[in-house]
Amino acid sequence: MAPKAFLLVFAEPGAAVPDAEFHDWYDNEHIPLRVNTPAFLNWTRWVEVDGAKPTWAASYDIESFAAMQKPPYTTLAETRSAREKDLLSRIAVLDRRTYEAYEGYPVHPPSALFDEKKPASVVVFNSNEVKPEMEEEYNKWYDEEHIPMLAKVPGWIRSRRFVLKEAQCLGTEGSKSQKKPPKFLAMHEWESDGFANTEEYKAAAETEWRLRMVKEVINKERRVFQFHKKWDRE
The pLDDT tens digits along the chain (234 residues) read 789 999 999 999 999 999 999 999 999 999 999 999 999 999 999 999 999 999 999 999 999 999 999 999 999 999 999 999 999 999 999 999 999 999 887 788 999 999 999 999 999 999 999 999 999 999 999 999 999 999 999 999 999 999 999 999 999 999 887 789 999 999 999 999 999 999 999 999 999 999 999 999 999 999 999 999 999 997
pLDDT at 1 (0 to 100): 72
Q: Could you check whether the bond before residue 109 is cis, i.e. omega within 30 degrees of 0?
A: no
CB atoms within 10 A of CB 20: 9
Using alpha carbons, list the distances in angstroms from residue 225 to 45, 51, 55, 138: 9, 10, 9, 25
pLDDT at 177 (0 to 100): 74
Burial class (CB in 10 A: 0-12, 13-18, 19+), 159: buried
Residue type present at position 164: L
DSSP 128-185: EEE-GGGHHHHHHHIIIIIHHHHTTSTTEEEEEEEEEEEEEEESTTGGG--PPPPSEE
CA atoms within 13 A on the CB side of 228: 17
Radius of gyration of the chain (CA): 18
- Which structural domain range is residue 151 located in? 5-231
Can you give the CATH number for the domain in which 166 is found?
3.30.70.100
Number of domains in the chain: 1
pLDDT at 209 (0 to 100): 98
From the list 220, 86, 209, the residue with the least C-alpha distance to 146 is: 209
∠ Cα 162 92 86 (to 5°): 105
pLDDT at 212 (0 to 100): 96
Residue length of the chain: 234
How far apart CA 61 and CA 116 sit, in angstroms, is: 12
Record the pTM: 0.96
How far apart CA 145 and CA 210 sit, in angstroms, is: 9
